[in-house]
Amino acid sequence: MALVLLAGVGAGVINTVVGSGTLITFPTLVAFGVPPVTATMSNAVGLVPGNVTGSFGYRRELAGQGFLLTRLLPASLLGSLVGAYLLLHLPEDAFIAVVPVLLVLALVLVVVQPPLQRWLQTRREAAGADAVTLDTMSAGRMVVAMATVFLCGIYGGYFAAAQGILLIGALGLLVPLALQRMNALKNVLVLGVNVVSATTYIVVATWGGGTHPLDWTAIALVAAGSLVGGVIGAGVGRRLPPLLLRACIVALGIVALVNILGMR
């Protein structure tokens, strides 16, 4: 119980700063005998308090992002519903086969974002175009961003691990935000995914005839730990310089990739 609690704290910190805390709690629950599907469902429910405290800790960086949230959050919620449905109906390892590919792509995007964004801006200036801002995002770019968030929501609703890294990697080229503000947006989108998933799993566990049970002891321990971890993560993450934060994302993404490959 103490180890699961500590895993919850670690997951809360990492989810807020980067977004791969599930790779701490999920293996811990499985190691102590929780069946994989039950561990996935229980973990999603338990991490919600940490998502709440982490998002609240980044509230200053969320200022002025209402325009984005009203468009991207519904896409995230809808994707989460699809992902939760797939978890309950597809084979256990169906998505784990593609997760490493997605993570590698996300990490590459995180690394190349600064030079690529500078190159794109140079091209726009050479063509006489203004820099892209939240107010000048084209309808096409917004649609692509919404589709990206929807797909990340499906992934998050199904497996959850490292969905924050995928979001930052994909949206970094589409949405004109500084990295810390992008991290704040990521935290809210992940919160939405986990709330929908957790609600779905609770409903299924309560009225599903016992086919997909939850482990409420595990949920309570992960929830208590992640609640504290989210507060710590917000305090730490908001103080990291962009370069160091990007380095943390890449480092933890590599750890996540190694761990996921070990699950296959």
Tens-place pLDDT, residues 110-139: 677 677 666 656 765 565 544 556 666 778
Mean pLDDT of 199-216: 81
pTM: 0.80
- 50 burial via Cβ count (<10 Å: 0-12, 13-18, 19+): buried
Q: Residue 181, exposed/middle/buried by CB under 10 A (0-12, 13-18, 19+)?
A: buried
Mean pLDDT, rounded, for 160-165:
75
pLDDT tens, position by position, 182-193: 888 889 999 999
Q: What is the pLDDT of residue 239?
A: 81
40 or 71, greater pLDDT:
71
Q: What is the C-alpha separation between 69 and 89, in angstroms, rounded?
A: 30
pLDDT at 129: 47
- pLDDT tens, 5-35? 998 998 898 888 877 777 788 878 888 888 8
The whole-number pLDDT of residue 95 equals 58
| 194 contacts: CB under 8 Å, gap ≥ 6 | 44, 47, 48, 51, 80, 156, 160
Q: Degrees (nearest 5) of the Cα angle 237, 65, 234?
A: 15
